[in-house]
Amino acid sequence: MKHELELKLQALLDGELTGREAEEIAALLERDAEASALLGELRNTRTALLGNELEIKLPESREFYWSKIEREITRLEQAPATAPASAWWAALRRRYFASLGTVGVAAALMLTAVVHFRELSSDTFDVENLLDETTALTFRSEANKMSLVWIYDNEQPEAEPDGDFDDDDTIPQT
Amino acid sequence: MKIIPQSKIWAGLALTALLAAPSLIQAADTKLEARLIWGTNDEKSPNPDHKKVDDALAKKLKAMPFKWNNFFEVNRTNFTLVGTNYTKVVMSKQCSIDVKDSGKAGIKVKMYGQGKEMSRIEKSPLPKGEILAIAGDSKNESAWLITIKRTE
């Protein structure tokens, strides 16, 4: 059976056909048993639906019910007006808060670098004297870029002169 | 396939660079120059092999609180510090120094006289051109000095 005929049968049942169309379908139904059977089935189905459809009664009046729907529609239409604020907040969170972990890692790295390079750049000028009979003094000349450690003998501040100087004389007096 | 966020990639690269930087800094060899110098008021050294130090160093030494006017170079040694181990530098028959990188862009020096360790000195940092001088009294109202300078 053609789909067009099925639609026409449904339209006949719904009373949507013109008088001429209804006559044509009625003539067809007398000749076509299959179409007649389908019409009977559709009619039975419609009858069953109409007889068993649940009736819902509104707890309020019809006007009040629709006014609630209208208010809800109005509220939803006004919602986009406040959306930019939440969208702005969401964007802020995505852009900044989501990368908070990365910022934390970067801060930790910077702190490590600062500590490391502060240690590198810290000026240390330490002298550890290992002999009891000697003492060390330090002097720093910033202008001459020279740091001096002067080691002198506590007991023999000056060696006996021998009138000569060679490599052996250059040893520290211990 | 799991996609790694770009921020994490950058953080990883930064961490790698940061961790690698100190090792790169320390990987560079430290080149030093050590001189044994005699300070005196005598115009000439008894040893003709001893030459007066160059004018630049003489000017610096004269600006220091020394009572000597003349400084003669007895010995000069250029050496390179590799890694963090001590390098022994013999300045004379009975005077030597052990030098190593302090790890803070400076040096640590062990000073030996007559085979005995006298003192340990750390100078950090020791930038190029900066001089560490270790000195003491010598005979005949003279003085000995060891100057250590970073050349590279």
State what percent of residues in chain B have pLDDT above 70.
82
Question: For residue A162, what pLDDT is reported?
Answer: 38
Q: Rounded to an integer, what distance in angstroms lies between the CA atom of residue B132 and that of residue B65?
A: 15
Residue-wise pLDDT tens digits, A71-101: 999 888 887 665 566 777 777 777 777 667 7
CA gyration radius for chain A?
Answer: 53
In which band, very low, low, confident or very high, does the pLDDT at A109 lie, cut at 50, 70 and 90?
confident
Q: How far is A5 from chain B (nearest CA, A)?
A: 55
Domain annotation covers residue B97 = yes
**Domain total of chain B:** 1
Whether residue B2 is contained in a domain is answered as no
The boundaries of the domain holding residue B56 are 29-150
Q: Which residues of B touch A164 (CB under 8 A)?
A: 46
Measured between CB atoms, which of A116, A131, A163 is closest to B140?
A163
pLDDT on residue B41: 92
Taking CA atoms, A143 is separated from A1, A140, B15, B56, B59, in Å, by 112, 9, 39, 13, 12
By C-alpha distance, the chain B residue nearest A109 is B15
- How confident is the model at residue A135, as a pLDDT? 87
Q: Which residues 82-111 of A are in CB contact (within 8 Å) with B?
A: 99, 102, 105-106, 109
Q: Which residue of B has its CA nearest to A100?
A: B7
Is B101 a domain residue?
A: yes
Query: What would the DSSP string read from start to end of A12-69?
Result: HHTT-S-HHHHHHHHHHHHH-HHHHHHHHHHHHHHHHHHHHPPPPPPSS-HHHHHHHH
Chain A partners within 8 Å of B138 (Cβ): 159, 165, 169-170, 173
Whether the pLDDT of residue B107 is over 90: the answer is yes
Domain assignment of residue B1, yes or no: no
Q: What is the pLDDT of residue B19?
A: 59
Chain A: closest CA distance from residue B7 (Å) = 7
State pTM to two decimals. 0.55
Mean pLDDT of A19-42: 90
pLDDT of residue A152: 84
Please state the rounded mean pLDDT for residues B97-105: 91
A114 confidence band (pLDDT: 50, 70, 90): confident
Distance from CA of B29 to the nearest CA of A (A): 16
Query: Looking at the domain assignment, is residue B24 inside a domain?
Result: no
Interface-testing mutation among A110, A122, A170, A174, with chain B (most B C-beta atoms within 10 A): A170
Look at residue B41 and tell me if it is in a domain.
Answer: yes
Whether the pLDDT of residue B70 is over 90: the answer is yes
Among candidate residues B102, B149, B20, the one with its CA nearest the CA of residue A145 = B149
Question: Mean pLDDT score of chain A, rounded to an integer?
Answer: 78
**Residue B96 resides in a domain:** yes
Q: Is residue B98 part of a domain?
A: yes
Of A14, A22, A18, the closest CA to residue A46 belongs to A14
All residues of chain A having their beta carbon less than 8 Å from the beta carbon of residue B124 are 122-125
Instruction: Please report residues of B whose CB lies closer than 8 A to that of A109.
Output: 11, 14-15, 18
pLDDT value for B54? 94
Taking 80 as the threshold, does the pLDDT of residue B28 lie above it?
no
- In angstroms, the CA A137 to CA A149 distance is 6
H or E element in which residue B93 lies: none
Four-CA torsion B109, B113, B118, B120, nearest 10 degrees:
0
Reading the block at residue B78, the tokens are 């250029």
